[in-house]
């Protein structure tokens, strides 16, 4: 997709031997992944495979207990300042949208730019309106999240994350909580974002989306990366039996 930016082999995210335990349960068992600037990564796999846990370690919503994660040259450690710097550079979109229900759409979007980046209200609102136009719902700016449909809420959530002008966008199953007719409107926004050159890690089962825009796909199972490759390799000629089985299960109908 982004052949030009990919040629500069300059990883913006480096994960080395990342481990994570929940109590005794070994959720991530040695994840290695490099993501280059502008690369679109799709992570897929059965539920409980650790894919959501993994994406959440990248902005430290989950703490990894072994290994190394370096985001844009900043290593994630216990240092709170580093964590906040990484979070400023990393936008995240959640399965359940997680908009702030007590704030209007525009206030949801401008809150972090004003309070974290220190922009003026006017400046933040101008950018927020541009983003709302980009995701196609400028007319909803003064409404509350509860008055919007699921698809509209998720598009606001994308705009909210983009308002911080992040270098990386993380999507944690962004369409899994949506009614079928709303999935497309969210995927359209994500495709446009991918084509604009944004670095993205997307946890999703939308294989059409993966085929269209992914540069690299990673198949997760039981806390490990079983297989990775371009969409052509993964869909056309998967090496591992587990990958074949999983793909046949989700693509069978």
Partner 1 sequence: MSANTPTVSKSADVLPPPTERYSVVRWLHKNLFSTWYNTLLTIIMLALAGLIVRNVLEWALTQARWDVITVNMRLFMVGQYPVNELWRIWACVVLLAFLIGMSWGIWGRMQRGGAIAFGALPFLLAIVTSDDTSRVALIATGIAGVIGYALSWRWCGILQRASIVGWILYFPILFILVNGIGGGDSPLPSVPTNLWGGLLLTLLLTVVGIVFSFPIGVLLALGRQSKLPVISWLCVGYIELIRGVPFISVLFMAQLMLPLFLPGVTIDRVVRAMAGVVIFSAAYLAENVRGGLQSIPRGQYEASYALGLSSWKMTLLIILPQALRAVIPILVGQFIALFKDTSLVVIVGLLDLMGIARTVLAQPDFLGLQAEVYTFIALVYGVFCYMMSAFSQRLEAKLHIGR
The site for partner 1 (CB under 8 A) is made up of: 59-61, 84, 87-88, 90-92, 94, 96, 98-102, 111-112, 115-116, 144, 146-147, 160-161, 164
Q: How far is the CB of 3 from partner 1 (least distance, A)?
A: 30
CA distance 162 to 158: 6
CA distance 18 to 29: 7
What is the CA angle 225-206-252, rounded to 5? 90
Name which of 101 and 208 has its Cβ closer to partner 1.
101
The token pair at 13 is 């995210």
Name which of 172 and 221 has its Cβ closer to partner 1.
172
Tokens 């136009």, residue located: 133
Q: Helix, strand, or coil here: 56?
A: helix
Q: How far is the CB of 177 from partner 1 (least distance, A)?
A: 11
Name which of 143 and 205 has its Cβ closer to partner 1.
143
Q: How far is the CB of 180 from partner 1 (least distance, A)?
A: 21
Name which of 3 and 80 has its Cβ closer to partner 1.
80
H or E element at residue 156: helix 150-163
Helix axis angle, 150-163 to 121-134, nearest 10°:
130
Around 111, how many Cα atoms within 13 Å sit in the side-chain half-sphere? 15
Q: How far is the CB of 175 from partner 1 (least distance, A)?
A: 16
Name which of 82 and 222 has its Cβ closer to partner 1.
82
Q: How far is the CB of 100 from partner 1 (least distance, A)?
A: 6
The token pair at 80 is 């709170």
Name which of 37 and 87 has its Cβ closer to partner 1.
87
3-state DSSP helix/strand/coil percent for the chain, to nearest 5?
A: 45, 25, 30
Q: How far is the CB of 16 from partner 1 (least distance, A)?
A: 23
């Amino acid at each position: 997709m982004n052949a030009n930016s990919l040629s500069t082999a300059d990883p913006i995210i480096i994960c080395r031997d990342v481990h994570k335990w929940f109590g005794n349960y070994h959720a991530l068992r040695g994840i290695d992944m490099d993501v280059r600037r502008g690369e679109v990564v799709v992570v897929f796999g059965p539920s409980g495979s650790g894919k959501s846990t993994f994406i959440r370690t990248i902005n430290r919503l989950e703490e990894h207990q072994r290994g190394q994660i370096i985001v844009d040259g900043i290593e994630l450690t216990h240092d709170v300042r580093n964590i906040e710097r990484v979070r400023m550079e990393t936008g995240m979109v959640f399965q359940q949208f997680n908009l702030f229900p007590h704030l209007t759409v525009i206030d949801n979007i401008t809150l972090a730019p004003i309070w974290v980046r220190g922009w003026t209200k006017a400046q933040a609102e101008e950018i927020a309106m541009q983003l709302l136009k980009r995701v196609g719902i400028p007319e909803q700016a003064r409404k509350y999240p509860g008055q919007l449909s699921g698809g509209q809420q998720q598009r606001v959530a994308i705009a909210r994350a983009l308002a911080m002008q992040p270098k990386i966008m993380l999507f944690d199953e962004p369409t899994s909580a949506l009614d079928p007719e709303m999935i497309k409107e969210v995927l359209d926004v994500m495709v446009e974002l991918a084509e604009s050159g944004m670095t993205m890690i997307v946890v999703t089962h939308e294989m059409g989306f993966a085929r269209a825009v992914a540069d690299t796909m990673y198949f997760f199972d039981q806390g490990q990366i079983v297989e990775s490759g371009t969409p052509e390799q993964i869909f056309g000629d998967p090496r591992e039996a587990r990958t074949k089985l999983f793909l046949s299960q989700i693509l069978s109908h």
